[in-house]
Structure 1
């Protein structure tokens, strides 16, 4: 059974440390680590969190390994993702993937970002069909096009 994500003290501290490193351009979460800034759906204020952007099938993807968290709600309300790491800044329009499109991305993601594997019922390397069952619990967004 997959673990449930809880944003406790240790996770908050880790996010602060990783966020500070990413802001300075240090690849703390590997080459896939970025800071994602979204517009708060209720407050309208900027919200920033560390994420991993993975490449798969010729596209770049944002995966929510911990479920429908705040940044997911924010992207659903306004599908614009601002990514940065050090001096690198990108702004993308995003599109949420349906279950069929999300399944192979989730499988790839768990293989790339192994620290998130305990939050999935499907094991790394499991058939894509097992990840299709996970798609409703782990939203996936494609970086569709640069935002204008």
Structure 2
């Protein structure tokens, strides 16, 4: 059974460190790390969190390995993703993937970033179908169109 994500003290501290490194332009998590800024769905204020961008199938993807977290709800309300690391800044329109499209992306994501594997029921060696079955628990967004 997959582990539940909890944003406790340790994870908050790790996020502070990772955010600082990414803000300075240092390539965290093998160069896939970026800061994602979304508009808060209720407050309208900017919200920034570290994420990993996966390149697969000729597209770039945002994957939520920890489930229905805040940035997922924010992107559903306003599909504008501002990604940045150091001085590099990009603004994208995102499209949420259906389960059939998300399955192969989730599988590739877990293989690329195995630290997220405990949050999935499907194992690293599982078929794409096992990841398709988990797509409702792990939203996937395609970076559809650059606006910068």
TM-score tier (shorter):
over 0.9
2:146 aligned residue: 146
Aligned twin of 2:60? 60
Matches of 1:24 and 1:32, distance apart in 2: 15
Is this contact kept in 2: 1:37–1:47, CA < 8 A? yes
Give the CA RMSD over aligned residues: 0.7
Q: Point out where structure 1 has 5 or more consecutive residues left out of the alignment.
A: none
**Shift in Å, 1:28:** 2.0
Q: Match for residue 26 of structure 1?
A: 26
Contact 1:80 1:147 in 2 (8 A): no
Please, what TM-score do these two structures have when normalized by structure 2? Answer: 0.98
* Map of 2:114 onto structure 1: 114
Q: Which whole-Å CA distance do the structure 2 matches of 1:121 and 1:106 have between them?
A: 12
Residues 15-94 of structure 1 aligned to structure 2 (within 5 Å): 15-94=15-94
Distance in structure 2 (CA, Å) of the matches to 1:87 and 1:114: 28
- Separation in 2 of the partners of 1:115 and 1:90? 26
Tell me if structure 2 keeps the 8 A contact 1:2–1:120. yes
1:58-114 deviation digits (Å, cap 9, x = unpaired): 000000000000000000000000000011100000000000000000000000011
Partner Cα distance (1:84, 1:66) in 2: 21
Moved over 2 A (4+): none
Unaligned runs of 5+ in 2: none
1:136 corresponds in structure 2 to 136
Question: How many residue pairs align between the two structures?
Answer: 148
1:20-48 deviation per Cα after TM superposition (whole angstroms, max 9, x unaligned) = 00000111222100000000000000000
